[in-house]
């Protein structure tokens, strides 16, 4: 490498003076005596490294030598790192965490310093003073420090450590410089040296009475960000004119030691860097210190520092760190988007850095083998989807796994967070129950409506919370079931049979089907339903929601056409003035209020808690606002929600609370009793898909549920209760995905010590039964709200229907890829299915899903609409057996990967809908 004027290359050359035995040198000595002295220490260092091999999380502080307003030297904190860098800004406050950007020269100087500097491993010291003595001994032995300057440098290393505030910070103070003791201005630059005090840390009183409370106010939130069991690194950098060449000292203490007088927070210090030297030319000690601090905040290099037994291992770790750094050339960047092209390169570098087995020490390999052995231990047999190959074996396992924790399910609910979740989930469950109930009544001529759905939701919810294996599941009515009810009602009307009685026989067959599936552990089949099928299903339901909304709106305009004159004497509910326009306003208003309140939840307006409350209650708020607007418009007719008084059926003239399986008004045909098995299979498929996939989503490892789930038991309960509910003319239900994920999030306790820039970490989840139980009871009591419910216009419910259809498109990769067909490739996002799959092949894959959608829509619109679920299931073999013939494994992994991130704390542009591929 060419000679440069920055921290001189020769400055780090070997000194003719020998290092003491505490330093691990790069060149072996020819002296056998010296080698004999080093051998035991190397063995001891190796043993110490082995016993302390586990790398802790890190907190790093960078302190620089400055001159305060009293012309006294002191150490001032410049920045700190909790994985990301935080700097003190000129406005007098700490800035936001950000990625560290390092200069090329600073990294080169760090590499030279590590190669030739002082390295002390497993130093058995308990104080900063003891560490300073060892460093100075080595500096004198190396010829880097004159013996007469020892006291000057020692006192400098033990100067007071200050932390920035509004009155003093690195930006408001001038850099300090340690001068020669015979300097003319010694009295002003280093007055501490004139005092004849013992060599110890000089602690000065606070500069103001408010300093201590102010520091304490910041230290507390900072300490909450630091993970438990973290260890600190202290980096000290400064300019020392009395040194003729720069010096770096790296110290790893044998045991972490608390140095509260130096650090801002009480975290034990394991590593210490000291960089002193003459004024550099091409870089600054500030940049060198930032480079060192950033390296120590990176987990792989920090891990190497924990395990290093000699200098060469540290240098090797540094070189591997440099191999993964990206240098941006000094050219003008026309578009900031160009920086995004560096992300895949950086990810590839990180993948190479983290994954190669040759990088991992043997002790890590042994640990991984041990963990793998534990992972394959008999505990793996506790996997709820693992087949026992015994009749009802899965059901028995679910009961044995979950019921012993029943008492804790009650105790864990005694928490304020659970009470708040009850209030929130009640509205989250009530709004769709009212919406779907109103639409169900309209589609079935009130054979089932709001009252039946509320009673069914309450009873089945209570039973499921008492008996279910995963009480976090929220059972309710959903879009796919509404589509089936409409199709089955049309089918029964077409062949002139009683719809409500036909449902009873479907219920009987449902019970038979679920008993057979649970007996033979059929729940494992959910593993074969990939994102390909889920997204087709979700997209279809979203389209149906949106289409039905405008279909109903058009029907209103047909019943109440716009005219120049209306008959004022007509008492008919047809041809009413302004009804169509008001219905349009109510529907659009409800949709936009709910939609923008949801956007507000993920925006930057208002405090986080306030906007989350507003967003979470967006649907009931929108229903209330638009219903109130309709209430004040007295001179315009709008169709209202029909709700019976008390616990009554929606259509008392056509049915009661118990349905005669042989027929209510006419004898039910015997052939249909057996033919009902076919629609029962279709209903079972819908409930199976929603319930099992919802259980899979809520049971993801990232959610850290500890009590387990029970696919077989939950399926038996939900389908079995639905089958019995049909006898009473009530809807069958399923686990609802969005409501369940919302319920789980409401009961999730996040760790306070979340590292800035990292994803939220789960501390625990309140897995209990009482929240779901209380919500179900409250939904049942809501049937007594008839005076309020009957004031809700149907147009408002159409707006909620449209809202559910539009929001369900979020998180569906199929929808994103359809939009990409309309964009030039240069505007495509940096996603794996875009980067690793050719654009035309990605479009071909999307086309196959669109063709499936067209076929399903055609079936839905035909007399054979009941077979919709059966046609949907055919997409599973299509994906598993046909598509692999035309797409490679890599392409399918990118296009059909279940890569939805678990969403706990929703951020801007991201919420639970992005995690869920199933319809609401």
Per-10-residue mean pLDDT, the chain, length 920: 37 36 33 37 40 70 89 89 87 84 88 88 89 90 86 88 84 78 44 36 41 50 79 91 86 88 87 87 82 90 89 90 86 75 80 63 50 43 74 87 88 82 80 83 87 91 91 86 87 89 93 92 82 83 83 87 73 78 92 86 77 77 90 87 79 87 87 90 89 82 79 92 92 86 78 58 81 90 83 85 79 84 84 84 91 89 79 87 88 75 48 52
| Contacts of 86 by beta carbon, 8 Å cutoff, 6+ apart | 79, 80, 94, 95, 96, 97, 98, 756
* pLDDT for position 655: 86
**3-state secondary structure at position 762:** strand
Q: At what angle do helices 794-807 and 416-443 cross, to 10 degrees?
A: 110
Q: Distance of alpha carbon 884 from its chain centroid, rounded?
A: 31
Place of tokens 């007055």: 191
What region does 229 belong to: left with phi over 0, alpha with psi -120 to 50, or beta?
Answer: left
Helix or strand run (H / E) with residue 73: strand 73-82
* pLDDT for position 854: 92
Are the C-beta atoms of residues 499 and 883 closer than 8 Å to each other? no
Are the C-beta atoms of residues 271 and 296 closer than 8 Å to each other? yes
Where does residue 851 rank: exposed (0-12), middle (13-18), buried (19+ CB within 10 A)?
exposed
| Contacts of 554 by beta carbon, 8 Å cutoff, 6+ apart | none
CA gap 807, 813 in Å, rounded: 13
CA gap 872, 483 in Å, rounded: 14
CA gap 752, 161 in Å, rounded: 28
Q: At what angle do helices 311-323 and 342-354 cross, to 10 degrees?
A: 150
Query: Which among 157, 158, 147, 134 is positioned nearest to 181, based on CA atoms?
Result: 147
* pLDDT for position 116: 86
Are the C-beta atoms of residues 83 and 227 closer than 8 Å to each other? no
* pLDDT for position 42: 40
- Count of CB atoms within 10 A of residue 610's CB? 11
**Could you tell me the pTM of the whole model?**
0.66
Roughly how many angstroms between the first and final C-alpha of the chain, as a whole number? 64
- Phi, psi at residue 752, to the nearest 5°? -70, -30
**3-state secondary structure at position 391:** coil
Write the DSSP symbol of residue 878: I
> What Cα–Cα distance (Å) separates residue 415 from each residue in 176, 406, 427, 760?
54, 17, 20, 22
* pLDDT for position 13: 38
Length of the chain: 920
Token pair for residue 918? 């199933």
Write the DSSP symbol of residue 206: P
| Contacts of 606 by beta carbon, 8 Å cutoff, 6+ apart | 600, 614
Q: Strands 268-277 and 231-240: what pairing?
A: parallel
CA gap 823, 819 in Å, rounded: 7
CA gap 554, 795 in Å, rounded: 12
* pLDDT for position 725: 92
* pLDDT for position 684: 92
């Amino acid at each position: 490498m060419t000679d440069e004027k920055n921290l001189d290359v020769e400055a780090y050359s070997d000194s003719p003076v020998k290092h003491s035995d505490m330093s691990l040198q790069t060149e072996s000595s020819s002296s056998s005596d010296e080698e004999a002295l080093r051998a035991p220490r190397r063995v001891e260092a190796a043993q110490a490294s082995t016993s302390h091999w586990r790398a802790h999380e890190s907190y790093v502080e960078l302190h620089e030598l400055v001159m305060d307003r009293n012309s006294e030297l002191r150490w001032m904190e410049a920045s700190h790192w909790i994985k990301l860098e935080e700097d003190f800004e000129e406005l007098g406050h700490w800035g936001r965490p950000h990625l560290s950007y390092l200069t090329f020269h600073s990294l080169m100087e760090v590499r030279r310093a590590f190669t030739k500097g002082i390295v002390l491993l497993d130093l058995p010291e308990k104080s900063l003073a003891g560490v300073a003595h060892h460093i100075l001994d080595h500096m004198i032995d190396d010829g880097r420090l004159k013996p007469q300057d020892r006291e000057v440098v020692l006192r400098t290393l033990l100067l007071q450590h200050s932390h920035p505030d509004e009155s003093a910070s690195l930006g408001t103070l001038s850099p300090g410089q340690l001068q020669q003791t015979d300097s003319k201005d010694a009295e002003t630059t280093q007055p501490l040296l004139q005092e004849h005090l013992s060599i110890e840390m000089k602690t000065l009183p606070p500069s103001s009475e408010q300093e201590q409370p102010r520091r304490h106010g910041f230290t507390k939130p900072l300490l909450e960000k630091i993970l438990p069991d973290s260890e600190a690194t202290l980096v000290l950098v400064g300019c020392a004119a009395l040194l003729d060449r720069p010096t770096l000292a790296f110290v790893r203490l044998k045991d972490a030691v608390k140095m509260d007088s130096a650090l801002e927070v009480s975290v034990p210090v394991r590593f210490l860097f000291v960089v002193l030297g003459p004024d550099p030319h091409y870089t600054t000690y500030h940049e060198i210190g930032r480079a060192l601090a950033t390296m120590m905040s990176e987990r792989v290099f920090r891990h190497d520092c924990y395990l290093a037994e000699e200098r060469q291992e540290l240098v090797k770790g540094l070189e591997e760190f440099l191999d993964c750094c990206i240098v941006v050339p000094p050219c003008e960047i026309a578009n900031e988007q160009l920086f995004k092209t560096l992300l895949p390169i950086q990810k590839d570098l990180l993948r190479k850095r983290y994954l190669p087995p040759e990088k991992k020490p043997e002790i890590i390999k042994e640990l991984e083998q041990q963990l793998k052995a534990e992972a394959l231990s008999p505990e793996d047999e506790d996997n709820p989807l693992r087949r026992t190959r015994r009749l009802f074996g899965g059901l028995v396992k679910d009961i044995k796994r979950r019921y012993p924790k029943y008492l804790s399910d009650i105790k864990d609910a005694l928490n304020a967070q659970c009470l708040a979740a009850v209030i929130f989930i009640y509205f989250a469950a009530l709004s769709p129950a009212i919406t779907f109930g109103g639409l169900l009544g309209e589609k079935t001529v009130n054979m089932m409506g709001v009252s039946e759905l509320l009673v069914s939701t309450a009873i089945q919810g209570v039973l499921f919370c008492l008996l279910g294996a995963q009480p976090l599941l929220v059972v309710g009515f959903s879009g796919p079931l509404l589509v089936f009810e409409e199709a089955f009602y049309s089918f029964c009307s077409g062949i002139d049979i009683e719809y409500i009685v036909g449902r009873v026989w479907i219920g009987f067959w449902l019970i038979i089907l679920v008993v057979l599936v649970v007996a033979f552990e059929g729940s494992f089949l959910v593993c074969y339903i990939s994102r390909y099928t889920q997204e087709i299903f979700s997209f279809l339901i979203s389209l149906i929601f949106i289409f039905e909304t405008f279909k109903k709106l058009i029907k209103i305009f047909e019943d109440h056409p716009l005219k120049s004159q209306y008959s004022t004497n007509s008492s008919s509910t047809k041809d009413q003035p302004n009804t169509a326009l008001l219905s349009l306003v109510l529907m659009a208003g409800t949709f936009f209020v709910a939609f923008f309140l949801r956007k507000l939840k993920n925006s930057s307006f208002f405090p986080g808690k306030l906007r989350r409350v507003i967003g979470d209650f967006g649907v009931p708020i929108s229903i209330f606002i638009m219903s109130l607007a309709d209430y004040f418009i007295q001179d315009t007719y709008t169709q209202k929600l029909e709700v019976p008084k008390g616990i009554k059926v929606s259509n008392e003239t056509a049915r009661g609370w118990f349905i005669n399986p042989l027929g209510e008004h006419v004898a039910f045909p015997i052939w249909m009793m057996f033919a009902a098995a076919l629609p029962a299979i279709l209903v079972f498929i819908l409930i199976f898909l929603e319930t099992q996939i919802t259980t899979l989503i809520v049971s993801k490892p990232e959610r850290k549920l500890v009590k387990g789930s029970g696919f077989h038991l939950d399926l038996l309960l939900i389908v079995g209760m639905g089958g019995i509910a049909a006898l009473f003319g009530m809807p069958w239900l399923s686990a609802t995905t969005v409501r369940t994920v919302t319920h789980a999030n409401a009961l999730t306790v996040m760790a306070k010590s979340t590292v800035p820039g990292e994803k939220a970490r789960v501390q625990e989840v309140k897995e209990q039964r009482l929240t779901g139980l209380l919500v179900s009871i409250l939904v049942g009591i809501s049937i007594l709200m008839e005076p309020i419910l009957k004031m809700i216009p149907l147009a408002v419910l159409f707006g909620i229907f449209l809202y559910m259809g539009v929001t369900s498109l979020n998180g569906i990769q199929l929808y994103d890829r359809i939009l990409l067909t309309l964009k030039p490739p240069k505007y495509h996002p940096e996603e794996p299915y875009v980067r690793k799959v050719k654009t035309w092949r990605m479009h071909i894959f999307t086309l196959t899903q669109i063709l499936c959608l067209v076929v399903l829509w055609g079936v839905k619109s035909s007399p054979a609409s009941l077979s919709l679920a059966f046609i949907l299931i055919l997409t599973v073999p299509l994906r598993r057996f046909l598509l692999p013939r035309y797409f490679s494994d890599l392409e399918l992994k990118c296009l059909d990967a279940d890569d939805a991130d678990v969403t706990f704390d929703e951020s801007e542009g991201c919420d639970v809908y992005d995690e869920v591929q199933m319809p609401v």
